[in-house]
A and B are shown apart, each in its own frame.
Chain A
Amino acid sequence: MGVIVQKVLLLSLGAAGTPDTRGSLYLGYGAVAAVLILYGAYLFARWRRIR
């Protein structure tokens, strides 16, 4: 738990002089999730059609 808290703090504070680019990080992983969800939905629709 201590490690998790420490890492969360590291992520939220960053080192001195480090730019806060967390917004872009979340946007990047959100985009990954969106592409995979869209493709998953496409595969699911095709799978439903042949069932």
Chain B
Amino acid sequence: MPHRRWSILLWSLALAANSAALYMVFLYAPVEVQMGAVQKIFYYHVPSAIACYVLLFLAFLFSALYLWREEPLYDHLAHSAAEVGWVFITLVLVTGPIWGHSAWGKWWVWEPRLTSFLILWLTYSAYFLLRLFSRGDARAAKIAAVVAIVAFFDVPIVHKAISWWGSIVHPRKVVLEPAMRWTFFAGLASVFLLAAALFLTRFDIQRAEALRAEKEEWA
């Protein structure tokens, strides 16, 4: 494993930060008066959405670099970022309806933010199907890079959906009282550390697989 020390450090930090964040979520943050305890899903739901934006931007950036430089390293970085980003999209899509059902009485509403977010999940699912059913050669990597670049354009649409078209379930602005704000920052830090640790681990595995395949080709 090329980044073993970084991996151990990141995983240790992620574990400590997530333990602290979960303590704050369940025992420190106050219960919101109107929605009750379920509002505490917010502390992982929103940070997961922000983490997926960052990871999908990295996938976009590395895909563009791959098309430009044609170095497999960039393809591996893009693939890893997109995969971990997809996991965080899934987390948002799983926690959102659970919160929504409890708070608004509905699992799903076809409003712009939710619909564009579902499209994001479907687009990156198509990206992985493309990876899965291709031969894994340079041509497939180039097509995947184009898909990752095009798919990323849904991210600003998701982000701006509320200000462009409004929303019946998402507020335009959220004001948090101090204890809730600190818990949110703890959730944000822990989700980002977890995302970084998963990304580095996923990238290490991808590199090790590529090196092994190269060795087998030469043998």
**Does B72 sit within 8 A of A, measured CB to CB?**
no
* B31, A28: Cβ atoms closer than 8 Å: no
Known A8-B27, A32-B44, A50-B212; judge A43-B202 contact (CB<8 A): yes
Contact A24 B198 (CB under 8 A): no
User: Known contacts A8-B27, A35-B94; is A28 also within 8 Å of B33 by CB?
Assistant: no
Q: How far is the CA of A4 from the CA of B25 in the complex (A)?
A: 12
A36 vs B91: C-alpha distance when bound (angstroms): 9
Contacts of B95 in A (CB 8 A): 28, 31-32
Q: A8-B27, A32-B95 are in contact. Are A43 and B37 (CB under 8 A)?
A: no
A14/B37 in contact, CB under 8 A: yes
Instruction: Identify B38's interface contact among A4, A7, A8, A28, CB under 8 A.
Output: A28
Question: A46 to chain B: closest CB distance in Å?
Answer: 5
Interface residues on A, range: 20 to 34
Chain A residues whose C-beta falls within 8 Å of the C-beta of B39 in the assembled complex:
21
Within the complex, what minimum Cβ distance (angstroms) separates B11 from chain A? 11
A: residues with CB less than 8 A from B are 3-4, 7-8, 10-11, 14-15, 17-22, 24-25, 27-29, 31-32, 35-36, 39, 43, 46-47, 50
Our pick among B22, B25, B98 for the contact of A27 (Cβ within 8 Å) is B98
- Given A27-B98, A43-B205, A50-B205, A20 contacting B33 (CB threshold 8 A): no
A28 to B41, CA, bound (A): 6
Within 8 Å by CB of A32, from B31, B94, B198, lies B94
B185 interface residue per 8 A CB criterion? no
Which 7 A-B residue pairs are closest in the complex by CB-CB distance?
Answer: A21-B38, A24-B102, A21-B36, A28-B41, A24-B38, A19-B36, A7-B27
Q: Which residues of A contact B94 (CB under 8 A)?
A: 31-32, 35
Tell me the complex Cα distance, A26–B44, Å: 13
Closest residue of chain B to A50, judged by CB?
B208
CB closest residue in chain A, given B44: A32
6 A-B pairs with CB atoms under 8 Å apart are A8-B27, A21-B103, A24-B38, A28-B41, A47-B201, A50-B208
Chain A residues with CB under 8 Å of B194's CB are 36
